[in-house]
Amino acid sequence: MVAKSRYVSVAGLKKDPATLVSQARKRTGSSEEACDPTSAAAQLHWLQRHLPPALPPSPRVPLGPEEAEKLAAERARAPVVPFGVDLCYWGREEPMAGKILKSDSEHRFWKPREVDAEVESAAVSESLRSRQITFAGRFEPVQHRCRAPRPDGRLCERQDRLKCPFHGKIIPRDDTGRPLHPEDRAREQKQRLQRPAGRRGRSGGRVSGVFAAWQDPELMRDVEAATGVDLGSSGPGGKGRRRRSGLTDLKRQADTARARIAKKVFAKAAVQRVVTAMNQMDRKKHEKFANQFNYALH
C-alpha cells in the first residue's frame, strides 16, 4: 500500500510532454519577439533599459489651511498646456526621433547594399524640444467715437480705435465736441491760434491756417503718393508738384511685339472678317457637295 502511494506521488510529479512542448514554444516565441525591433516586446524591453529607475515616494508634509488655499489659487490661475511632442521628449538628452536615414539611391525598387547613413536634422530636433504658442489676444470692439466738430456743424461719428484719418488722435469729448481734459482743450486752442490766415482752399474759399483741423499732413502725403492726386499737402505755395505714384498697374499690358500683333489680330473688325470668310467657304462647300450622301452630314 505504501509503495502504491509513493508511485502515485512520483507519477504526479511528472509533467505531460505536450505541456512541456507548449512551454518551450512560448519561451522561444517570446525570445524571438524580443529580438524583433518592430515588436511590442522589444519596445518594452528597450524602455525598461533606458528609462530611469523609479524614485521612492517621498513623505509629504501636510499643508496648513493658508498654504493649501494659496496652492489652490495658483493652480486655478496657472494655464493648462495640452500634451505634445515636446512634453513626450522632455528631459531627454538625445531623442531618437530627430535622426533621418539618408539614402543616396533614388530608384523605386533597387537599393544599395551599403548601410544607409543617419543624418540628424536640427529643425526636427528643435521641434521636439520647443513648442510655438500663438497669443492672438481677445477682440474688444470699439465703443467710443471721434466726435470732433465738422465744418457742417455735426460731429464725426467714426469709430476708429486710436486715430481718426480726418481729425487725428481720438480724445474724449463732450456732446458738443469740446475736449474733456484741460490739456487737450489747451492744445487745440494753441493750434487754432497758430494757424495763419490767407490760404485758399481747393474749392476757392478762404481756409484759416495752412491745414484745417481735420487734415493730417502725413496722412495726406501718403494718400497723394498712393493715388497720385494732389490734396494740398505741399503747403500754401500753389498746387505743388504732382508726385508720381510708385504703384504698379496690374491691368496694364506690357508693350511688346507679341502684344501689338495680338491687338491687331484679335481686333473686333479682324475677327469679323475671318468669320465672314469662313462662313462663305462653308456655304460654297455645301452648294458643291449638297447632293452627295457622303458630304451631306458634314
- What is the percent of the chain with per-residue pLDDT over 70, rounded to a whole number? 67
Q: What is the pLDDT of residue 266?
A: 93
Nearest-angstrom CA–CA distance, 234 and 81: 56
Q: Is 170 exposed, middle or buried (0-12, 13-18, 19+ CB in 10 A)?
A: buried
- What is the percent of the chain with per-residue pLDDT over 90, rounded to a whole number? 18
Q: What is the mean pLDDT of residues 104-122?
A: 66
Provide the residue type at 198 as one letter: G
Nearest-angstrom CA–CA distance, 177 and 146: 9
pLDDT of 151 higher than 80: yes
In this prediction the pTM is 0.30
**Residue-wise pLDDT tens digits, 205-260:** 444 444 555 667 777 887 787 777 777 666 554 455 667 777 777 778 788 999 99
Helix extents (H) in 61-216: 65-77, 85-88, 122-129, 182-194
Q: Spell out the domain ranges in the chain.
A: 85-104+116-131, 146-194, 195-244
Q: What is the mean pLDDT of residues 144-172?
A: 91
Q: What is the pLDDT of residue 139?
A: 86
